[in-house]
Amino acid sequence: MFRLSTCSRAAKSATPLFTPSTATPSALTSRIRPAQLRFYAKHPKSHLQQQSQSTTQKTTFNSTTSTTARAPKTSTTSNIITFLAASSLGIGAYLYQWNQHRSSSGVLSSSNPFFDFFSTGPAETLTTEKWTPIQLKKITKLTPHTSLFEFHLPAPCTIPISSAIYVKDDQIQAMRAYTPVHSTEADQETVQLLIKRYSEGQVSRFMHDAREGQMIEMRGPVVIWPGGKEDLKQWDEIGMIAGGTGITAFMPIIHSALTNPDKKVNISLLFASQSPEELYFKEELDYLVKTFPHQLRVSYAVDRAPTDAATQWEGHVGFVNQAMLQGLLPAPKKAITQGGESADQGNGENKEKHAKKSIVLVCGPESMVNHVAGTRGMSGQEPIRGVLGAMGYQREQVFRFPN
Ligand SMILES: Cc1cc2nc3c(=O)[nH]c(=O)nc-3n(C[C@H](O)[C@H](O)[C@H](O)COP(=O)(O)OP(=O)(O)OC[C@H]3O[C@@H](n4cnc5c(N)ncnc54)[C@H](O)[C@@H]3O)c2cc1C
């Protein structure tokens, strides 16, 4: 179900719907290079080759027009020219390699035209092909165990909605997937990952030990569920059940749906977490509900009601159950009715035509996804069980995100 994607460098600009106060993606200026240097930067090899070819031609001409008596002198001149040509090629090749190395380790200053001269084109950015060191620009602590990690991409890159990026702990060569919280439509040079630290977790601990300015190896993006504007057009309603950090997968889809001028897709979300403080982006979600009251509905649930008097809790309490989902999510297929009848009965064709096309997305820790929809299994296509299964949802109406 994963779709590999390459970073598109087409620069789109869009205004973010909401800019969270804790993590404002900064507006980064794109790099500007002198026009003359840009040509050579794109053709460093051909430039050097031209130089070397013309030098070789000159040497050949000298040697063929020379007499045997002058042969030793011509040979010395030819040797000097060849030596100089070889030296300049060698130095050029060395600087080129050095620049490549500095560029790939993120040390290269993007404003230094000397290094640009030897670069092969646009700076390296995220790709599925290989690990790329990406600079960790900013860390914002959201809760004692969860932080928002903001990365600066070396070149503009569009990360598709609802995709994953792999992060590598290069000490133990372990990698884990993380979902960028916002699409890069508004700012193509910044990626934000929300990562919860697990006390026994390898990569999450590595990330929480990382420092601002550090280079982190990344690979991707890989599309998990197609949630771009064009993809969303096929749906009338999307139900979402997020558990804890699972909300990261849904934030870009919600933005994508709410900013689509071509089709109004209704979104309903149950966001369940252990405690109110782990309802990440709640401020942003509440703002979006107020702004799009006819298109977005959000309910919250926490495992345990807060005991401190300062926190007034009006949401659900307990694990996800039918009562929390009934009336919030798009109805299961067997319950979609036209004139009070089930769409699965009677003259189904006519009724299906009018039935709204909907899907329910589930994303969160494995235990929560299993409880809500049953195990994904190796194929990710196991029959729907759990709470949604009991409510009558079928496999084609539910998508369980990998965890
Ligand atoms: C497509 C995809 C997207 C993801 N996006 C995010 C994201 O945006 N943010 C995020 O924080 N995570 C995300 N994850 C989960 C992430 O990939 C890691 O699994 C998680 O960070 C734990 O990795 P780890 O190496 O620290 O722990 P591991 O070394 O893999 O696990 C060690 C121990 O940590 C505990 N543990 C690990 N994961 C969990 C969990 N989910 N719930 C409870 N206990 C756990 C368990 O006790 C486990 O035995 C995503 C996973 C996938 C597949």
| Nearest-CA residue for atom 34 of ligand 1 | 201
Q: Cβ(197) to ligand 1 under 6 A?
A: no
Same domain (yes/no): 152, 263: no
Range in 31-40, 62-71, 187-196, 328-337 the model is least confident about: 31-40
Same domain (yes/no): 145, 21: yes
The percent of residues above 70 in pLDDT, for the chain, comes to 63
Same domain (yes/no): 319, 375: yes
- What is the reported pLDDT for 16? 53
Tell me the two tokens of residue 195: 């990562």
Tell me the two tokens of residue 271: 């966001």
CA 183, CA 17: separation in Å to the nearest integer? 12
Write down how long the chain is.
403
pTM of the model: 0.73
Q: Is 96 annotated as a binding residue?
A: no
Determine the average pLDDT of the residues in 128-146.
Answer: 95
Same domain (yes/no): 253, 289: yes
Model confidence pLDDT, tens digit, residues 324-381: 999 999 999 865 544 444 444 445 554 554 578 999 999 999 999 999 999 998 888 8
Q: Cβ(164) to ligand 1 under 6 A?
A: yes
Same domain (yes/no): 206, 108: no
Number of domains in the chain: 3
Helices vs strands, H then E, count in the chain: 12, 15
CA 56, CA 394: separation in Å to the nearest integer? 73
- What is the reported pLDDT for 115? 36
Residue 320 · residue 241 · CB < 8 Å: yes
Tell me the two tokens of residue 31: 């790099």
CA 315, CA 33: separation in Å to the nearest integer? 53
Same domain (yes/no): 218, 241: no
- What is the reported pLDDT for 166? 97
Same domain (yes/no): 79, 188: no
- Range(s) of the domain holding residue 137: 3-29+123-223
For residue 307, count CB atoms less than 10 angstroms from its CB and return exposed for 0-12, middle for 13-18, buried for 19 or more. exposed
Q: Cβ(245) to ligand 1 under 6 A?
A: yes
Query: Taking phi first (over 0 means left), then psi (-120 to 50 degrees means alpha), and beta for anything else, what does residue 275 get?
Result: beta
DSSP designation for 111: T
- Residue in 126, 147, 205, 213 with CA at minimum distance from that of residue 172: 205
Q: Is 191 annotated as a binding residue?
A: no
Same domain (yes/no): 73, 175: no
